[in-house]
Structure 1
Amino acid sequence: MDAFMSGNPGDSAFRVKRYPFYLLNRLVSRYNSIIDQRLRAIGLDIPSWRVLMILGERSPRGAREIAEAAVINLSTMTRIIQRMVAAGLITTAASEDDARVTLVALAPVGETRLAQARQATAPVFEHLIIGLEPDEFEKLIGLLGQLHDNLEPLAPKPG
């Protein structure tokens, strides 16, 4: 049997445990339930953690850019940002280059909370990669990127 057929939902040989999206969803669900507990212990939820992690790479960033990186629609991201501003984790300002763009930056409290979140979630990542060689990890990252890129032409266009 062709190895791909058991993962193809259109084939009679289909098996759920060979379907990449089932496996990815199962992995992400397990991961989120583990880190959710750790983040809640330091007063964060997963959407806020995503924003802090994204801003931890580069701050400030536009709200739309953060929404895209966090894989959250812009209207939901706007509410998350408002909540985080109220909590003192981030600040917002209109871009000097384009007043339509809201720039979001880490506030000092957000930087502290980001450091706590990194400390709380790092052990989960370290446990996750047990048994993987560095080249296997790189291959995994490459394969996930390739799967994403393969879907890009099929994705609905905004507007």
Structure 2
Amino acid sequence: MDAFMSGNPGDSAFRVKRYPFYLLNRLVSRYNSIIDQRLRAIGLDIPSWRVLMILGERSPRGAREIAEAAVINLSTMTRIIQRMSAAGLVTTAASQDDARVTLVALAPLGESQLAQARQATAPVYAHLIEGLDPQDFEKLIVLLDSLHDNLEPLAPKAG
């Protein structure tokens, strides 16, 4: 059986367990259910954790940039940021360069929550990659990026 055909939903040889999107969804669902429990124990949800992790790389950032990095639509991200701002995790301000851009920055409480979230989720990541060869892990990252890039021409254009 052709390896590609067994993952093609348009082929009679299709097998769910050979379909990359099933496997990715299964992985993400399992991961989210595990970290959700750990994050809730420290007073965070997954969307807030995503924002904190993104801002942990660089802060401040524009709300649109955070939404894209978190893979969350902008209107939903705006509500998440408003909720996080009200909780004292982030601060918001209009960009001095472009008043239409809302800059979001980690507040001191957000930095503290980020540190707790990293401690809570790091063991899950360590367990996830246990036994993987570093070259295999790098190949996985490259392959996932390639699959994403292959879909880019088919993605709906914002407008």
User: Equivalent residues in 2 for 1:29-108 (5 A)?
Assistant: 29-108=29-108
Query: If the length of structure 2 is used for normalisation, what is the TM-score?
Result: 0.99
- How far off is 1:80 after superposition? 0.1
Aligned partner of 1:26 in structure 2 is: 26
Instruction: Kindly provide the CA deviation profile for residues 104-152 of structure 1, in whole angstroms up to 9, marking residues without a partner as x.
Output: 0000000000000000000000000011011111000000000000000
Aligned partner of 2:148 in structure 1 is: 148
User: Equivalent residues in 2 for 1:100-139 (5 A)?
Assistant: 100-139=100-139
What SS does the corresponding residue of 1:34 show, helix, strand or coil?
A: helix
- How far off is 1:101 after superposition? 0.3
What SS does the corresponding residue of 2:142 show, helix, strand or coil?
A: helix
Instruction: Kindly provide the CA deviation profile for residues 8-35 of structure 1, in whole angstroms up to 9, marking residues without a partner as x.
Output: 0000000000000000000000000000
Q: Percent identity?
A: 90
Deviates more, 1:40-49 or 1:129-138: 129-138
| Paired positions, count | 159
Cα distance in 1 between the residues matched to 2:116 and 2:23:
30
What SS does the corresponding residue of 1:13 show, helix, strand or coil?
A: coil
Cα distance in 1 between the residues matched to 2:130 and 2:35:
17
Cα distance in 2 between the residues matched to 1:44 and 1:3:
41
Q: Which amino acid aligns with 1:44?
A: L
Q: Which runs of 4+ in 1 moved over 6 A?
A: none
Q: Which amino acid aligns with 1:123?
A: P
What SS does the corresponding residue of 2:96 show, helix, strand or coil?
A: coil
Cα distance in 1 between the residues matched to 2:79 and 2:22:
30
